Structure 1
Amino acid sequence: MSTENLLQSPEQPRKPRVAVVFGGRSSEHGISVVTAGAVLSAIDRSTYDVLPIGITADGRWALTADDPARMAITDRKMPEVAQLAESTEGGVVLSVEPGNREVVYTEPGSVPKALGEVDVVFPMLHGPYGEDGTLQGLLDLAGVPYVGSGVLASAVGQDKEYMKRVFISYGLPVGPYEVIRPREWDNDPAAARKKIVDFAGEHGWPLFVKPARGGSSMGITKVNDLSGLDGAIEEARRHDPKILVESLLRGREIECGVLEFEDGPRASVPAEIPPVTAHEFYDFEAKYIDSASGIVPAPLTAEETAEVQRLAVQAFDAVSCEGLVRADFFLTDDGEFVINEINTMPGFTPISMYPRMWQESGVSYPELVDRLIQAALRRSTGLR
């Protein structure tokens, strides 16, 4: 795609321009590219003008090919923005001056090219530097509407510790957990380790050790006894210096989607993630490489369905979310729903659980994408 093809013609009626931003600096870079490819395939080009912008793993904003076929998992390998970028040196600049939504393409030795205004951003980034409020803050500075939650909700939704603290303050049921902050581990790893061992003594093994600010099950280890603890901590800290330790909740894994409609948020039919026999738990490989499939709708009673839908919307409101959320629960053996976490920008390929739950709820994938864009266009760009 040349920059000339992206210029908006003054002679044609102007369609709303959607910048699909994807990739990024987090360890979830590849799945973000896959997700964006699915969204690019679904956006109605007769309604919207589309501008694909990829953020490379080192943080450069690049114009990319509008070619969803090249954005899929191939031979168990994740795609990268660098493989899609139109130039290895050219970059995209979005003004942070409120009211100026002009996108400019720059390349060394060339005159900058104005590519027209952006009306809304669809940020398909996962993890830090994109899903955690950082990109949302930039877009708020620029006065550009965007799909999904604002700065606060995105930050809380990314940090599992503070997410749980908010849930608790709103009376949502949360499982036992412990947090090891960076300073604790750096200054006294023996004391931090003892803190976890004491937690295991109270709640039992196995434990799950995970990055406090991460997603797609990256960096998570199921630890069955003390011998595996140090390796699990090291793996989690590769993704985030703050780690979260959770006890095993015995029961069924249930997910529920929340979508913002004109009259407020509504919950989808729930889904169930059955046990994955080829994996220790529902990890990254199971989700994205081996495509372990969930059951939609989940085989729940009418009362159970209504309860998990109520809790999902309550979690959406508790964190002040906007646009969309996938809420993940355990239905424990004693019949109680316990919320594990929410995801403010869940996996969004057509086979991902969030779109599948809404498909079963009567909202097709293209309609889901359109609803999110329209909700963003309606929303104020002021304080949220």
Structure 2
Amino acid sequence: MIKLGILFGGRSGEHEVSLVSATAMIHAADKTRYRIVPIGITKKGDWLLYDGPVEKIADGSWEAYALDCLQKDPARYSIAILGTGGRSLKDTADFIIPAVHGPYCEDGKLQGLLDMADIPYAGSGVTGSATAMDKIIAKAIFKDAGLPVGPYVPVMAEEFRRDYPAVKARIEAQLTYPVFVKPANMGSSVGISKVNDGSTLEAALEEAARHDRRIIVEQGIDGIEVETSVLGNYGDLQVSCVGQISYTADFYDYEAKYQNEDGLTLTIPADLPEEITAEMSRIAKEAFLALDCCGYARADFFLEKGTNKLYLNELNTLPGCTGVSMFPLLWKHSGLDFTQLVERIVELGYERYSITHRG
């Protein structure tokens, strides 16, 4: 039986979202094929083995439980991330699903650590994870690949703090309000602000800079948000159906995604012409390959009103798997239930490992 490590938590601002994703994945995994090994990462960066009730993960009380177990029986609950021995990570888990999000987990750092430890894992490797996580780099690669992206302006935190008037002038010369100000390396809409005029631009830049020194300012697009998902490695890719997101909030922020389900509507499959969904599939595949992604990802788009022009927004290599998350729902409507989806993710991870570790 495969010891399936489900990694959750982490040091990023998306810690709480990860707890819910991990809980859903633990429930979905086939217990006849896998022995589930939950491994939590605290906000301080400590790695803790957890064998308590699954429900304690989602509400955050897992950490106190795990620390209590560690104090009572350190020989059993201690874990070495690198190295050898009975309590090393490599001996604890045969395979890792990173049910984590945001910096330190989704940006290639965790993937590099697992590569060093020689542990197979789900999803993209270092390159795909790092390029997809950084919105500035990802958009530059998409643009170079000829994929449709909306206008944007990259800004460094030290740059706007040194000469805000010059940065404001550059943004307003290239974009028109409204604009969206985002940390370049963050997901789940953490740190994002919608700016309708210049009076709130500086505050929005400061908010984004709380999460990342690299900031992207994007042109607001009057359209609908549509998403699709990719499964596969390298050239052998499968794309799900398309879903549409509707919300009562001003934009699809953290609260709309995770705290106000009544104000959120997911339409799956989206009621769109076949030529648009086919174009989304093509772009999603090309974006996946352009960033050197593997395993799985969710591709997010804007469909502009009036013109029906598609704009690729981003590729998420470790998409959320909560009860209101598009990624598992898209695959459910495409013929893979959550248990089958977890199985496929593991298969693709082992396949990638066999290709990249031939030497």
Determine what percentage of the aligned residue pairs are the same residue.
Answer: 41
Distance 1:66 1:300, change over 3 A: farther
**Equivalent residues of 1:213, 1:242 under 8 A apart:** yes
Considering fraction of residues, name the structure with more helix.
Answer: 2
**1:222 corresponds to which residue?**
194
Matched, 1:341 2:314: yes
- Please list, as runs of the form range in 1=range in 2, the aligned pairs for 1:296-375 lying within 5 A after superposition: 296-333=268-305, 334-375=307-348
Shift of 1:61: 0.3
Structure 1, gaps ≥5 residues long? 1-14, 74-78, 106-113
Q: Which amino acid aligns with 1:17?
A: K
Among residues 17, 24, 45, which one is paired with 1:38 in the alignment?
24
What letter corresponds to residue 102 of structure 2 in structure 1? G
Pick closer, same or farther for the CA change 1:260–1:115 going to 2, 3 Å. Answer: closer
What is the distance in 2 between the residues matched to 1:65 and 1:373?
A: 21
Residues 209, 152 of structure 1: alpha-carbon distance in 2 compared, 3 angstrom cutoff = same
- Spell out the pairing of 1:18-167 with structure 2 (5 A cutoff): 18-72=4-58, 79=60, 82-87=63-68, 92-97=78-83, 104=87, 116-167=91-142
1: CA distance between counterparts of 2:79 and 2:336? Answer: 35
Secondary structure at the counterpart of residue 318 of structure 2: coil
- Cα offset, 1:174, TM superposition: 0.4
| CA 1:260–1:27: 2 relative to 1, 3 Å | same
The one-letter code of the counterpart of 1:286 is A
User: Could you say which residue in structure 2 is the equivalent of 1:4?
Assistant: none
How many residues were matched structurally? 349
Shift of 1:310: 1.2
Question: Within 2, Cα distance between the matches of 1:149 and 1:260?
Answer: 10
CA offset at residue 336 of structure 1? 1.4
TM-score calculated relative to the size of structure 1: 0.85
Equivalent AA in structure 2 for residue 183 of structure 1:
E
Residue 374 of structure 1: SS of its match in structure 2?
helix
Aligned to 1:280: 250
Aligned 8 A contact 2:38 2:49 in 1: yes
Query: Deviations for 1:101-127, whole angstroms, at most 9, x for unmatched residues?
Result: x5627xxxxxxxx99442111111100
Contact 1:329–1:340 (8 Å) recurs in 2: yes
CA distance in 1 between partners of 2:353 and 2:3 (Å)? 17
User: Aligned AA for 1:180?
Assistant: V
SS in 1 for 2:22: helix
1: CA distance, partners of 2:205 / 2:66: 35
Match of 1:157, SS? helix
Greater Cα shift, 356-365 or 228-237: 228-237
Counterpart secondary structure, 1:303? helix
1:377 paired with 2:350, answer yes
Structure 2 regions of 5+ residues with no counterpart? Answer: none
Contact (CA 8 Å) 1:255, 1:272: kept in 2 or not? yes
- C-alpha separation in 1, matches of 2:34 and 2:50: 18
Q: Which amino acid aligns with 1:284?
A: Y
Matches within 5 A, 1:165-244: 165-199=140-174, 203-244=175-216
Report SS of the residue matched to 2:128.
helix
| Conservation of the 8 A alpha-carbon contact between 2:100 and 2:318 | yes
Deviations 1:268-303 (A, max 9, x none): 0000012x22x2101110111112231100001111
8 Å Cα contact 1:23-1:80 kept in structure 2: no
Query: Is this contact kept in 2: 1:40–1:66, CA < 8 A?
Result: no
Give 1:46 shift: 1.2
Q: CA RMSD in A?
A: 2.2
SS across alignment from 1:307: helix
Partner SS state of residue 154, structure 1: helix
